Structure formats: C-alpha cells, structure tokens
C-alpha cells in the first residue's frame, strides 16, 4: 500500500482524514486511468485488427518469433545485435496483407532478454495504422524442444511455473505507465509451422524432426492503439529469478523498416 500511495504522490496526505485520503486517492487514480486510456486499450476476446482477438494475435507473435532465423531473431543471442534485428524482418507478409486489406495491422515488439542492460534501440517503422503488441513477460514451450515434457500437462506446468516467477513488470510508453493483459493459451497445443531447423545454431531446433512444433503459450502483454507518426519511447522492464529485462525502444514511425541486409 505504501508503494501505491508513493506512486500517486499521496504520501503527503497520510495524516489527513481517512475520508479525505480516500477521495484524493480515487480522484488521482481516476485521472491517471483516463489519461492512460487515451493511448492504451486492452481487448480480451473482442475483435481487434484484421478481425482477430488479442489471444489470436499473441499466437501470431509466436509464429513470427519461431519462424525467424537465429541471426534475425530478437530473442536469441546468436549473431550481431544490430538495430534491424529487433524489428525481426517486419512487416511480415501477413502483416502487409492485413494493412492492405483492413487499413491497419499489428507490429510485434519483443522484450529482447539478451540485449545489453538499459539498452536504447531504435526501430524504424513504416508510416501506417500500426497497433503495437508488446511482450514484456511471455513464455512458450513444447515437448519437442524439451523431451522430458512428454505430456501436455507437463508442458502446461512448465510454462505456468515459468511465468509465475515474474515478480517485477512494467511498461512505459511516451511517459505513461500502461497496463498489461494476461493471455493463457494452454488449453490445447498450438501448431507453429515453418520453424527453421537446417543449419540452425539453436541446438533445440536442431533436434526437431520436422519444421512444425506443438506449443503452449502464456504471458503478460501490452496492446497499444495506432499513434501519430514521429518518435515514441517505449521502456520495458520485467524480472524473475531467471532473467531480467531493461530495454528502451525508440520507435521511429516515419519511414521504411530496416532491411535485413543492412
């Protein structure tokens, strides 16, 4: 409770009457959430860009991650950490088709756990009605990647235990702290096709029998509405006993995305 009061600047009112403090707290929280709501809305199962739910877009996020090569993947430690890498060869064909058909699409932003601490990374994004799906703390697993997880119950336990270790989590966009939404896709296996296995430096991928894996996924997500062209700052922080992420992206929505040949 002390941290909550300190966050909203209420510590000075500690010795005021209980009623006054309560009204003051509700007023400030109301203003905070109204301002936040102008740039951020969270959707559960209602339709979002391209008629997909938030849950379905998170599945598309994992397809994007798993289908990237090691060197172009923002969540692996293989290859150089150049700015274009954090864009992960976006926009994908699916993202382009969404933009052409619906006039809007979703841009994926990974938390890049192997980036240098307190990194500031610039990502160039084409001008357009891009929603931003941010993954501050997410997990995905498969029995094909970890043979000891030979039942769906074991895979489910693995991802749930992993994400439940998260004890610090916040995302700040253009100076506003934005809420997260917990998405649980662990009821049944989700197939991801086109996983690169040949010449992969990822030893887990080298053990795959084919290019399709069955996964379970869960985690905390942010979903931001399209913003005006220009530069925007996004800071991601998450922490558990097994990892810590502190990264700031400067999202430059004013030109073509980085080419993977850069």
Tell me which residue range forms the domain holding 11.
1-39
Do 117 and 136 belong together in one domain?
yes
Do 72 and 88 belong together in one domain?
yes
Segment 29-50, tens digit of pLDDT: 333 333 333 333 444 556 788 8
Q: Is residue 259 part of a domain?
A: no
Q: Is residue 186 part of a domain?
A: yes
**Which of 98, 109, 127 has the alpha carbon at shortest distance from 58?**
109
Per-residue pLDDT for 111 more than 70?
A: yes
Residues 126, 91: contact at Cβ < 8 Å?
yes
d(CA 57, CA 50): 10
Q: What's the number of domains the chain is made of?
A: 2
Report pTM: 0.78
Do 26 and 102 belong together in one domain?
no
Do 146 and 249 belong together in one domain?
yes
Do 122 and 211 belong together in one domain?
yes
Q: Is residue 258 part of a domain?
A: no
Reported confidence tier of residue 214, pLDDT bands at 50, 70, 90? very high
Segment 202-213, tens digit of pLDDT: 545 556 667 888
pLDDT at 202: 56
Distances in whole angstroms, Cα of residue 78 to Cα of each of 66, 67, 72, 98: 14, 15, 9, 30
Do 99 and 49 belong together in one domain?
yes
Q: Is residue 261 part of a domain?
A: no
User: What average pLDDT is seen over the chain?
Assistant: 77
pLDDT at 110: 92
Do 87 and 206 belong together in one domain?
yes
d(CA 71, CA 117): 20
pLDDT at 27: 33
Q: Is residue 12 part of a domain?
A: yes
Average pLDDT of the segment spanning 241-260: 78
pLDDT at 144: 85
Exposed e or buried b for every residue in 220-240, given b needs 16+ CB within 10 A? bbbbbbbbeeeebebbbbbbb
d(CA 51, CA 228): 23
pLDDT at 243: 85
Do 113 and 58 belong together in one domain?
yes
d(CA 213, CA 164): 24
């Amino acid at each position: 409770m002390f941290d909550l009061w300190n966050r909203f600047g209420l510590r000075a009112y500690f010795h005021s009457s209980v009623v006054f403090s309560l009204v003051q707290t509700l007023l400030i929280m109301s203003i905070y959430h109204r301002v936040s709501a102008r740039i951020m809305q969270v959707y559960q199962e209602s339709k979002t860009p391209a008629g997909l739910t938030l849950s379905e877009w998170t599945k598309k996020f994992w397809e994007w991650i798993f289908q990237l090569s090691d060197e172009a993947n923002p969540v692996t430690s293989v290859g150089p950490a150049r700015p274009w890498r954090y864009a992960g060869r976006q926009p994908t064909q699916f993202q382009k088709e969404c933009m052409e058909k619906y006039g809007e699409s979703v841009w994926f932003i990974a938390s890049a756990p192997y980036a240098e601490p307190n990194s500031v990374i610039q990502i160039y994004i084409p001008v357009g009605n891009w929603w931003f799906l941010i993954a501050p703390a997410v997990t995905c697993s498969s029995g094909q990647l970890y043979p000891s997880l030979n039942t769906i119950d074991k895979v489910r336990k693995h991802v749930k235990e992993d994400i439940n270790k998260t004890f610090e989590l916040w995302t700040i966009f253009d100076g506003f702290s934005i809420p997260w939404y917990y998405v649980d896709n662990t009821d049944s296996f989700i197939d991801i096709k086109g996983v690169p296995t040949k010449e992969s430096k990822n030893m887990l991928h080298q053990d795959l029998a084919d290019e399709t894996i069955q996964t379970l996924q869960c985690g905390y997500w942010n979903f931001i509405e399209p913003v005006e062209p220009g530069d925007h700052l996004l800071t991601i922080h998450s922490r558990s006993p097994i990892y810590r992420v502190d990264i700031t992206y400067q999202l430059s929505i004013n030109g073509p995305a980085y080419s993977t040949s850069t």
